[in-house]
A and B are shown apart, each in its own frame.
Chain A
């Protein structure tokens, strides 16, 4: 019962802090965030893609929306939305691939929403949000053509991947394309660190929409993460000190 109470307390506390930090008075926008080189490179790469008439490809991983790993895919969708907004003027619209049926539908819906909001719905192509494959390796095999033959100059890999994602980053490297990669899975993070051009580690995955100016809620949620992280650090430190002096609270 106590774990449920702690869980509920954390959720309510985070919710309250998030609402406060979204308010304009407390929200200083993405300029207040620490600089992450990967996002500076990404902005430049998106700009170059639009100028050169090349495509931006976002691949959202293989996470099912019914699994706990879906938050990485949801962050990927928020990133896709922002990238579609940034490259809406491009001759070649962005391409989204995923390894789950529901995620593919959501990616189509996200792209359609951006084109509708931008009053260019006639430019929307259903083919730009695709299911690449339904198993981890078939997803990789299905996504590989997007890395080789779709006139893509910028690849963003954001979501849940296995170590096999190395095949995608290797293909991007062969095409001399820019890659920014982030995963919530530890083996994939290690592989991406070695193979991708720019890698986001750990919770930086969730920072992508905030750094791309997706809205005050994204910046506020980064601040909430920071507050919660400091509380956890304080809790761990306090627990260690109490244990050293022989007091056990759990």
Chain B
């Protein structure tokens, strides 16, 4: 049995926040902004708790009796260094920022490069793995938009080609709007379930 008090508090606060968006009463707006401010503070503490959990997790992986993960040592050293330097000099210090950027930017760039190769390989394998009309359409549209995006057809000054290009360019916008509308409706009903207490992402 879940705690009904926790659910009641969550529902009440949710309703106040929701009402604050739709009912333009100054008191309600003030309460709403105060509650949202609290949420930001709690979110910051949650990040701190999460990072502490992450560090302990890597420590357990490194010191565990079976299946030790020695990569965790790099994570712990990196964390300790970043924390010590950040606390000593302050996160806004140019040397700290330069040092962090010198490590993070190349690492992230190489991850993105690995992603580009992985995606190209996955697209090639897609036809072999799942050959259906949607997959064929996906691959054809990928090729068509690669050609359009590369500007290969930009030099052709024919009204018919220009009209067809404009029409094809508009297709993904329409499709994206349809998908986003569906996601918005899903988000709305997910929020309503939580406001009703039917869905509780907290055990209480």
**Which A positions have Cβ atoms within 8 angstroms of B?**
4, 7-8, 10-11, 14-15, 18-19, 22, 64-66, 68, 71-72, 74-75, 77-78, 100-102, 104-106, 109-110, 112-113, 116, 126-127, 130-134, 137, 140-142, 145, 149, 163-164, 166-167, 169-170, 173, 184, 186, 189, 191, 193-195, 201-203, 205-207, 209, 215, 217-218, 221-222, 224-225, 228-229, 232
Chain A residue numbers with a CB within 8 Å of B111 are: 137, 140-141, 164, 167
Chain B neighbourhood of A184, CB < 8 A: 183, 186-187
Find out whether the CB atom of B191 lies under 8 angstroms from the CB atom of A105.
no
**How far, in whole Å, are A72 and B183 apart by their CA atoms in the complex?**
9
27 sample A-B contacts, Cβ–Cβ < 8 Å, listed by A number: A4-B22, A15-B196, A65-B43, A66-B40, A68-B187, A101-B51, A102-B46, A104-B50, A106-B201, A109-B201, A110-B201, A110-B203, A130-B57, A131-B50, A134-B51, A137-B112, A142-B54, A145-B71, A164-B111, A170-B118, A186-B180, A194-B138, A195-B119, A195-B122, A202-B182, A217-B198, A225-B189
* One of B18, B115, B191 near A166 (C-beta < 8 A): B115
Partner pick for B183 among A7, A10, A64, A202, CB 8 A cutoff = A202
Please name all residues of chain B whose beta carbon is closer than 8 Å to the beta carbon of A126 when the two chains form the complex: 53
Report Cα–Cα, A134/B44, bound state, in Å.
Answer: 12
Q: Which residues of chain B come closer than 8 Å to A75, judged between CB atoms?
A: 186, 190
Bound-complex Cα distance A78 to B194 (A):
11
Please state if A218 and B199 are interface contacts (CB–CB under 8 Å).
yes
Asked whether, in the complex, the Cβ of A15 is within 8 Å of the Cβ of B201, the reply is no
Q: Does B67 contact A167, Cβ atoms closer than 8 Å?
A: no
Chain A residues near B39 (CB-CB < 8 A): 65-66
Q: How far is the CA of A112 from the CA of B187 in the complex (A)?
A: 25
Instruction: Assess whether B8 is interfacial by the CB under 8 Å rule.
Output: no
Q: Contact at B179–A186, with CB atoms within 8 Å?
A: yes
